[in-house]
Structure 1
């Protein structure tokens, strides 16, 4: 995990898009100044199960895999892509041990913030408060859709939806991570992939 110099254009565009309120634009510079940049190499950990997650991050480039170890097998619970935010939220906000790992499955460039600075911005910066509220709301929608898909779509339909909505995952993420994320056995996933081009 190495620190980097600031290049904030992508992050600023992302913040402004989520906030979507021109009257709050002047407050965005404080948010940018409070985050710092780090680089993760492939297979570096952002959060480790059993340790307190120290940062909330915006992913400028790369993919972070959320996973659990169950009976000696790694299960992917979420894949966080570039131009999104992520953390082990319960661990980060409540300063308790994380129940999951978050690992870089490609090289990543991240903008990160500590809990102290996060809480300061939540209290003092209306733009950040608005950003976080909308971010969490959007994440709840995604989780809800994901759970409904698991119950209502066939494995083939789940794969097709991923192919349509997140084609980059199929190019950059190893098949065993994707099969775990979609709730499909690796063998079945391989068959689906051969049949659907």
Structure 2
């Protein structure tokens, strides 16, 4: 069956703290976030570490788990109430194979994400916490308004206490 991108996605809702996928589970969907924020996190030595924050009007998934039906190495949960448009694997593959516009959009999305991940990894190794925070202020000011501080500090690799100090000094 051929799908158009606009009819292929189904609407679902996640309440705050509800999971899309838990570490070890299979991610069921490729998602477009209409509203809300999804936190990608891993567990390290009993501590939750934020690896990514997916905001409104973006796509997200535990892609390795979704595409290859493997246990997810991360959890994805709503940190606010979310409205998502989701596609299951069969629908997603049909879109990729039969909808050239969606295929190109997905290719561009993945290309952009790879570049962002590369920059993020290099920033963690080469920038001070203050520099990472300042860069976030310049490039993603919405995050600072919409995401609770403890998720941002985890994402930036900064303790909550140090993050508070940085915010006071850089205003």
When normalised by structure 2's length, the TM-score is 0.95
Deviation at 1:127, TM superposition (A): 1.1
* Partner of residue 98, structure 1: 72
> What is the alpha-carbon distance in structure 1 between the residues aligned to residue 80 and residue 140 of structure 2?
16
* Structure 1 consecutive aligned stretches of length 4 or more whose deviation exceeds 3 Å: none
* Partner of residue 58, structure 2: 84
Give 5+ residue unaligned stretches, structure 1: 1-26
- Would you say how many aligned residue pairs link Structure 1 and Structure 2? 170
Alignment of 1:46-195 (within 5 A): 46-195=20-169
Larger RCO: 1 or 2 (CA < 8 Å, sep 6+): 2
* Partner of residue 6, structure 2: 32
Deviation at 1:109, TM superposition (A): 1.2
When normalised by structure 1's length, the TM-score is 0.83
Deviations, residues 10-62 of structure 1 (Å, cap 9, x unaligned): xxxxxxxxxxxxxxxxx9x8111011111111111111111100000011111
Give 5+ residue unaligned stretches, structure 2: none
Cα RMSD (Å): 1.4
> What is the alpha-carbon distance in structure 1 between the residues aligned to residue 140 and residue 80 of structure 2?
16
Deviation at 1:148, TM superposition (A): 1.6
